[in-house]
Amino acid sequence: MRIGLLNGGGDCPGLNAVTHGVVGTATRLGWEVLGFRDGYEGLLAPGDYKILKVEKTEGILKLGGTILGTSNRGHFAGKVGEGGVRRIPKELMEAAFQTLRRLDVSALICVGGDGSLTTALQFHEEGFPVVGVPKTIDNDLDATATSFGFDSAVQVVTEALDRLHTTAESHRRVMVLEVMGRHAGWIALYGGIAGGASSILIPEIPFAYEKVAEAILERERLGFHSALVVVAEGAAPAGGSLVVEDAGGGGEVRLGGVGDLVAKRLAELTGKETRCTRLGHLQRGGSPTCLDRVLGMRFGVEAVKLIEEKRFGRMVSYQQYHVGSVLIEDAVRKLKLVDPEGEIVEAAKSVGICFGD
């Protein structure tokens, strides 16, 4: 038996761990694995792939990025704007299916976020056997408690804040750190708490500049002459709109730049010197954490087991410390967002963190 594997969407620490889990498990079953390069684009005729063997994937757990490459642009983009779905043309899917049939691929493992999994769902609806694996540093897939890549991204944010603390204190500055997350504030929330931020601004809680400035000046009165403010790229002031760096040409917009606006406004309101740092793709790069290596490997193993059991149209899911699966259709139905009244936000507020509300 021969199965296929591809990665869709942005790169993410832990992708190679999934590949390791898939290849190791499939090999023990006597199956062959074809890895398609650059995501779904690798399925177009004549097909851009390589045969994945255990000896080629044995040491890749520690590697960031993906040995297969990935793509969040191109013919198979499944999302258009916030919450929008693009139907992949049938002739394009048929071209991909012809490649898979010509290569005797019996089933396909698609690793990706909500956009890539939306495409995988359409493959399944057209009759090709598909299994999904969730991948997102944003932690915004509702059908899994977490996904690999999130822990690694939070670790980068935490380390950045640790470094910004020292320069903030040395110059008595306000340091604003803009982080990824799109429409979900999980990276900002976890990274901000772990890194000791005094204010955290997330998409789920519209903020007021005046409230954040007031919190900074209160710290000043208490003898703390510096402050760290973490801003999620999708955060917006009450009554305001998202800051868009690139409209995406009809596809997913690229957010970015809100940190600069926050820094400028806080400088005006507080009179304090303020600087902004934007982490950008540093959050996607580098070696995965231990948690992401183990979780990615487990996801890869479970994906092969789903194929063995012929349970197609399902996505691997992590719930209550157990790796199982859910329907892809259920997984992409809605985003998992931070609950503004949830326990973790309340805990952060209890220790004095300001959310600008």
Tell me what pLDDT residue 76 has. 81
Q: What amino acid occupies position 90?
A: K
Q: Is the dihedral of CA 332, 141, 26, 19 positive or negative?
A: positive
Tell me what pLDDT residue 252 has. 67
Domain boundaries, the chain: 2-148+288-331, 152-285
Instruction: Give the relative orientation of helices 15-28 and 290-308 as an angle to the nearest 10 degrees.
Output: 40
Give pLDDT tens digits for 106-124.
Answer: 999 999 998 899 999 999 9
Comparing 171 with 240, which gets the higher pLDDT?
171
What's the average model confidence in pLDDT over 280-285?
A: 91
Single out the residue of 150, 170, 172, 354 nearest to residue 274, CA to CA: 172
Categorize the per-residue pLDDT at 10 as very low, low, confident or very high, splitting at 50, 70 and 90. Answer: confident
Tell me what pLDDT residue 79 has. 59
Look-up of token digits 């859910």: 326
Give pLDDT tens digits for 305-331.
Answer: 999 999 999 999 999 999 999 999 999
In whole angstroms, how far apart are CA 58 and each of 30, 52, 63, 297? Answer: 17, 11, 11, 12
Tokens of 39: 């995501």
| pTM of the predicted model as reported, rounded to 2 decimal places | 0.93
Residues linked to residue 4 through DSSP beta bridges, in sequence order? 34, 108
CATH class of 2-148+288-331: alpha beta
Give pLDDT tens digits for 30-54.
Answer: 999 999 999 999 999 788 999 999 9
Q: What are phi and psi of 300, to 5 degrees?
A: -65, -40
CATH topology of domain 152-285: Rossmann fold (3.40.50)
Give pLDDT tens digits for 48-93.
Answer: 999 999 998 989 999 999 999 988 777 787 655 555 677 889 999 9
Active-site residue list:
138
Please indicate whether the domains covering 2-148+288-331 and 152-285 agree at the CATH topology level: yes
